[in-house]
């Protein structure tokens, strides 16, 4: 009996992750492009000094920097996750779509944040979008890691724990940023900015540590 005849129905429904990663890469590229397009040129520029004009775009630039780093963090994580994926099933495809759905809202939330950076509602909206993105990222990661048949190599316990921590820890910081938004808007902004910075710092430290060096190569 040929190999194609011996395949189970579940195996036949599996597919290469290539189309999923290409589609997701394209979405992230569009998200980053929209982010920079949201930075507006100050109105009535001829009547203002250059310094005043640049100062007007300051909050928008800060929102762009924070959002760019966060989107970059999620893209790097997605790339490294799917480097471990050998097959995808329909559940993975749909979970991936759900993950990029709130991620696609980041430019909108960043635009509101840039315009109303000291308003708690803008900071809360930004945090809500990021929390939803992080939750769906955690769900996608957990689903894939619990199904070794979809992976090139089964993940070890330590790898799953590190991945779960990296996926869940930002949620805690986002919640704190939302809680302090009313009393300290600047602190809230700094907490959002700190998430991707701390994430990449933690990855670097894990890669330097002998006890986690091998596992950390799966994360970026």
Q: Is residue 133 part of a domain?
A: yes
pLDDT at residue 161 in the model: 86
Name the pTM for this structure: 0.85
Q: Is residue 3 part of a domain?
A: no
| Domains held by the chain: number | 1
Query: Which one of 23-32, 58-67, 199-208 scores highest in mean pLDDT?
Result: 23-32
Q: Distance (Å, rounded) from C-alpha 152 to C-alpha 155?
A: 9
- Domain span including residue 199: 13-216
Q: Is residue 163 part of a domain?
A: yes
**In degrees rounded to 5, what are phi and psi of residue 39?**
-80, 110
Average pLDDT in the 39-43 region?
A: 64
- Is-contact 180 123, C-beta < 8 A? no
**Higher pLDDT, residue 68 or 57:** 68
The CB density around residue 103, as the number of other CB atoms within 10 Å, is: 25
């Amino acid at each position: 009996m040929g190999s194609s005849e011996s395949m189970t129905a579940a195996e036949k429904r599996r597919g290469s992750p290539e189309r999923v990663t290409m589609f997701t890469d394209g979405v992230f590229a569009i998200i980053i492009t929209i982010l920079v397009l949201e930075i507006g040129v100050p109105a009535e520029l001829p009547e203002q000094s250059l310094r005043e004009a640049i100062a007007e775009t300051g909050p928008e630039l800060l929102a762009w920097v924070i959002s760019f780093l966060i989107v970059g963090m999620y893209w790097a994580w997605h790339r490294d996750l799917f480097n471990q994926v050998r097959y995808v099933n329909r559940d993975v495809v749909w979970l991936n779509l759900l993950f990029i759905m709130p991620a696609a809202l980041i430019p909108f939330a960043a635009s509101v944040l840039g315009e109303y950076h000291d308003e708690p509602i803008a900071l809360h909206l930004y945090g809500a979008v990021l929390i939803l993105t992080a939750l769906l990222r955690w769900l996608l990661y957990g689903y894939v890691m619990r199904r070794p048949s979809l992976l090139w190599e089964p993940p070890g316990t330590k790898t799953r724990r590190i991945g779960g921590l990296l996926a869940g820890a930002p949620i805690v910081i986002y919640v704190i940023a939302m809680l302090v938004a009313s009393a300290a808007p600047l602190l809230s902004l700094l907490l959002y900015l700190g998430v991707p910075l701390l994430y990449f710092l933690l990855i670097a430290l894990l890669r330097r540590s002998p006890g986690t060096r091998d596992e950390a190569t799966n994360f970026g």
